[in-house]
Amino acid sequence: MPHLLFPGQACGEKRRCPQCEALSLSICAALDPVELQRFERLTQQIRLLDRETMFMEEQAAGAVYNVTEGVVRLSKLLPDGRRQIIGFALPGDFLGTGPGDHHNCSADAIGPVTACRISRSLFWQFVETKPHILRRMNEFAARELNQAQDQMLLLGRRTAEEKVASFLVSWRDRLDHPGTHPVTIPLPMSRQDIADFLGLTIETVSRTFTKLEREGVIDIVKGGVCLRDRKRAEALAAA
């Protein structure tokens, strides 16, 4: 059976799940063994190839998805046809739990992705009698609201350098590397993805990466960047 994840939740030492490779994200600490087995029986594991769609904006939301491996790109189409990326989902993130009967964004895979899919009706039947899970979901909803507010500030009031630095620092922290120095940050998304997330052109993103490297803030490495000057990057991100 696939293992099921909540963001940032740790396996208890007394209930270590043999299936969980990423123990820091395991749902084991939230559910007792009987609950976990019941929940697993309700799910179906799916695998997506690079750029394969999980669901489309305005599509009927009939299922909830729990990302277990890989990165999922979340995006919306603007009225003029341009794409705005609104986020990236990592292992542990639940997708499709929002209000309404239709998805408010599209989700597609960046590289291979594995997820667990469960019917929305079965999901809510399962969690509505479990206050501990509902509390966790409320925490996640509050986190997403804070991220949306930060994104509004990021798009409207920051320079290109500040935007790129903020993206790199926040992505580093989401990958569980807060405060480490130096650290290589893998970037599975493309420069175009980063541009569409930050509200910049791809040319501006590329120039900004080059400028930050020239100034000794980062090193551009294969598949990502290395933070050479963590304090400078964090200062730019916090500006």
pLDDT in tens, 70-125: 999 999 998 888 899 999 998 888 898 888 889 999 999 999 999 989 999 998 88
Encode pLDDT of 110-153 as tens digits. 999 999 899 999 988 888 887 777 777 777 666 767 766 666 66
Residue 59 CB coordination number (10 Å): 13
Q: Are 87 and 146 contacting, i.e. CB atoms less than 8 angstroms apart? A: no
pLDDT interval class at 213 (50, 70, 90): very high
Distance CA 32, CA 37 (A): 9
* Confidence (pLDDT) at 188: 96
Distance CA 43, CA 210 (A): 45
Query: Poorest-confidence range of 50-54, 137-141, 188-192?
Result: 137-141
Gyration radius from the chain CA atoms: 19
Domains of the chain: 13-154 (2.60.120.10), 158-238 (1.10.10.10)
Token readout for 14 is 């007394």
Report H helices in the chain. Answer: 33-41, 120-127, 131-157, 160-174, 191-198, 202-214, 230-238
